[in-house]
Structure 1
Amino acid sequence: MDAMFHTQTLLIIAAGAIATYLTRIGGYVFITRMKRIPPRAEAALNAVPAAVLTTLVAPAAVTGGLDVTLTMAVAFLVGLRISLLPMLGVGWVVVMILRHVIG
């Protein structure tokens, strides 16, 4: 084994860290310099959580198999009625039952 880390790998990690830091601090600096947030920017910022959740859930729902898709549907419906922690519990129970039944 030549070295613990290759120089190229370390540079990629450093570049990723710098890019992450700049995007996070850039948003803070941008918002603090404004006296008032424009309505379009506020609407875009309000849409971010739903967009992130969709990018995390959609691929699993499409490619995860029948058990995952059914569990997400059940969790969605249960989530309309109860809070987050019980919904996660119900989703866990449903996926375990489906995986036992389906195989």
Structure 2
Amino acid sequence: MIDMATLATIVLMAGVTYLTRIGGYVMLRNRVLGARATAVMEAAPGCVLISVIAPAFVSRNPADLLALAITFIAATRLSMLPTVLIGVASAGMLRHLMG
């Protein structure tokens, strides 16, 4: 049986996540963004991705460094979704194979 505090935490976290996802749409639905604001909104997903993979730059784990190199090569040739999939898959496989 799941603890009620744990269940409440999960439900509240899901609610907050949902609110942050739709919050931008609700607040900006009747606005026209300028060129600068549009550029910031388009760059945000890449910034989040970099903040997630940045710790791998200082890793001493060979699997992480090799996966980072593979992801970098994929990023120079492919769009974001295939790059993310290749990065996640290569990190998972290399960590499994190399430890």
* Structure of higher RCO (CA pairs closer than 8 Å, 6+ residues apart): 2
What are the within-5 Å matches in structure 2 for residues 9-88 of structure 1?
9-34=6-31, 36-63=32-59, 65-81=61-77, 84=82, 88=86
Q: Distance in 1 between matches of 2:74 and 2:22?
A: 37
1:6 pairs, out of 3, 7, 14, with 3
Gaps of 5+ in 2: none
Q: TM-score, normalised by structure 1?
A: 0.65
Runs of 4+, deviation exceeding 6 Å: none
> RMSD value over aligned CA atoms?
3.2
- Alpha-carbon distance in 2 for matches of 1:24, 1:13: 17
Letter in 1 for 2:5: Q
Question: How many percent of aligned residue pairs carry the same amino acid?
Answer: 37
1:56-103 CA-to-partner distances (Å, cap 9, x unmatched) read 211234336123213312441354246747x939x84xx48x83xxx7
Structure 1 residues without counterparts, runs of 5 or longer: none
CA distance in 1, matches of 2:37, 2:75: 29
Aligned in 2, Cα 1:76/1:17: closer, same or farther, shift over 3 Å?
A: same
User: TM-score normalized by structure 2?
Assistant: 0.67
Larger Rg: 1
Query: C-alpha displacement at 1:31, in angstroms?
Result: 2.0
Counterparts in 2 of 1:20 and 1:71: CA distance versus 1, 3 Å: closer
